[in-house]
Structure 1
Amino acid sequence: MIELDGSLGEGGGQMLRTSLTLSAITGRPFRMKNIRARRAKPGLQRQHLMAVQALAAVCGAEVTPVDVGVGELEFRPGAIRAGDYAFDIGTAGSTTLVVQALMPALLHADGPSSVRVTGGTHNPTAPPAHYLDRAFGRVLRQMGATFEMELERFGFYPRGGGELVLNIVPCRRLQPIELLQRGPRIHAYAEAFVAGLAPTVGRRELDILCTEFHLGDTNCRQCGLPADQGPGNTVLLTFEHAYVTEIFSAIGERGVTAETVARRVAEEASRYQASEGAAGAHLAGQLLVPFALAGGGTFSMSHLSQHTLTNAEVIQQFLPVKVHFTRGAHRTVCAVET
């Protein structure tokens, strides 16, 4: 039984999701106390509870009784089973974080699987659905994974109701890769999605990003959504490089101007551009699990976060790998070794 303290390091939900994923894959049970202890609302929230329930369903795990607010659990996995799964978070909790926890596990299933998760697809504190396919998904495909992802319906806070669908086939073993350089930028574009709000909201966001990054009209895309998927708004900036894709995003908020929302995206993208890392800080933290499952590989990142350091510590509890970070002036290099 692996014993984990959820208050260590970054102290958020990623510790739990990584533990669930790797427990299912390795068959090693774990107990975690102080779940999300460093968050304003500690313990399990709806999206974390759904991650527990989803991984338990996929691998037939035995789990101690859990509910919203619970701060400790024990998880004893069984064999990972392929199937057609559907999970409803019941709130605007992040569908992307649930799907991201399921993806590595289902790569180890005994056949193809499909998963439909209902909830929030674009949340202030989680990667948007587009990120999962374009950024994280691109690297996973380079490592040998085969899957398709479809955003069937947007879900904004607080209503939720979005639907993200994953179809995935098993992969005997992910292949180690080296991702040290971005390569030349091939394409850049901005998208503003608006549902149940004035179309001018998206236009104002795009004006900021298109001017800041010299994108041109054809690369500034305003996307109107059905009103029943809102009210809500998100703006995305995608950089496609030769070897990696990065996405920067922000969510519209009541009382916050469209220009302020767009400038948040611009500031994050500018920090990435000023660095020499292949992956941005958020993507770097998510790449650790597939690189560890591949048994090796190296990648560079724009910034080494506490989130990434904590995730590395958890991974090393489950897998026979060592994760090393070498900080440089303009990037940090991560090396995973067996």
Structure 2
Amino acid sequence: AGSIPMLIMTVLPICAFAEKPVDLRIMRGGTDVSHSPTINYIRNVLLPRLNMMGLSAQIKVVRYGYYPKGMGEVHLKVNPSRRLKPLWLTEFGELEKIEGISVCTFLEERKVAERQKKAALKTLKNDGYDAEIQVLNDRSNPLQKGSSITLWAKTSKGCIIGADAIGELGKRSEDVGREAATKLIEELEAKPTVDVHLADMLIPYMALAHGRSAYLVRTVTDHLETNVWLIEELTGVKFKLSKVGNLIKVECEGVG
């Protein structure tokens, strides 16, 4: 199953500067598949951040889809922006709340979503974090069972830090919940202003924004390095990466 979130990330920078509102219907792929953010990560982490830059986009999940058959369906609506505002996130602030959504499709009888949630809450609690996690026992796609959990934390300085995990054949629901929670804890302990996945997703928008943008990330991933190189080649924008304490500051002057 091809990744619907990856397709959305590909077309969204183009939609951002369209001449009129864009309404896309994306079908047959997977909403929650390996080596890709979940659709709920896109909805609750990426899109709210882009909204703060002036790009308004909404996603409606019609059908969740998973490996191998996919068969998911998503509606994407984008209101283009004449000019993207720069992103300046250099302070973590104080943690305000942790939220999440645990989804399973046609696995309600095995309480998969509830078990993912319970394991995530326990893992977070063990490190001193409380969270509110919604359970969604989905029945939108009888052709492909599956599950996922997405968590996100919000801070007093406007940061949104996310993490997710995907259910797989032979992988216990408790392990899925623990995986997402452990990823989020690793981010929160470092106190960055974006998580390692959002970091590379934001690079095109920072380059296209009007003014100087910056954020702090806990480490430089291969994806971040690749995106920086590619966007520099395409736009001529130069990114600066520098060490700030235990974090990496990524900044650039946009061409917008």
TM-score clears 0.5: yes
Match of 1:332 in 2: 248
Residue 110 (str. 1) matches residue 19 (str. 2)? yes
Unaligned runs of 5+ in 1: 1-91
Task: Decide whether the 8 Å contact of 1:156 with 1:229 is kept in 2.
Answer: no
Q: Determine if the alignment matches structure 1 residue 225 to structure 2 residue 135.
A: no
Secondary structure of the residue aligned to 1:213 is helix
What is the CA-CA distance between 1:238 and the residue it aligns to?
2.1
Sequence identity of aligned pairs in percent? 24
Matches within 5 A, 1:1-338: 92-118=1-27, 119-197=29-107, 198-214=109-125, 219-226=132-139, 228=142, 230-242=144-156, 243-295=158-210, 296-337=212-253
Structure 1: which amino acid aligns with 2:100?
Answer: A
Deviations 1:308-332 (A, max 9, x none): 0111011111112110101234211
Residue 229 of structure 1: CA displacement?
A: 5.8
- Structure 1 stretches of 4+ moved >3 Å: none
Take 2:57 and 2:185, find their aligned partners in 1: how far apart are those partners?
A: 31
Letter in 2 for 1:175: K
In 1, the alpha carbon distance for the partners of 2:18 and 2:224 equals 27
In structure 1, give the amino acid aligned to 2:146: G
**Secondary structure at 2:153 match in 1:** strand
Q: TM-score, normalised by structure 2?
A: 0.89
Which amino acid in structure 1 is aligned with residue 216 of structure 2? S
How far has the Cα of 1:101 moved from its partner?
1.2
Go from structure 1 to structure 2 and tell me whether the alpha carbon gap of 1:165 and 1:183 turns closer, same or farther (over 3 Å shift): farther
For 1:142, the aligned partner's letter is: M
Work out the number of aligned pairs and report it: 246
Q: Deviations over 1:187-241 (max 9, x none)?
A: 213322111223322222222211222366x823321111616311112222122
DSSP 3-state at the match of 2:6:
helix
The structure having more radius of gyration, on CA atoms, is 1
TM-score (norm 1): 0.68
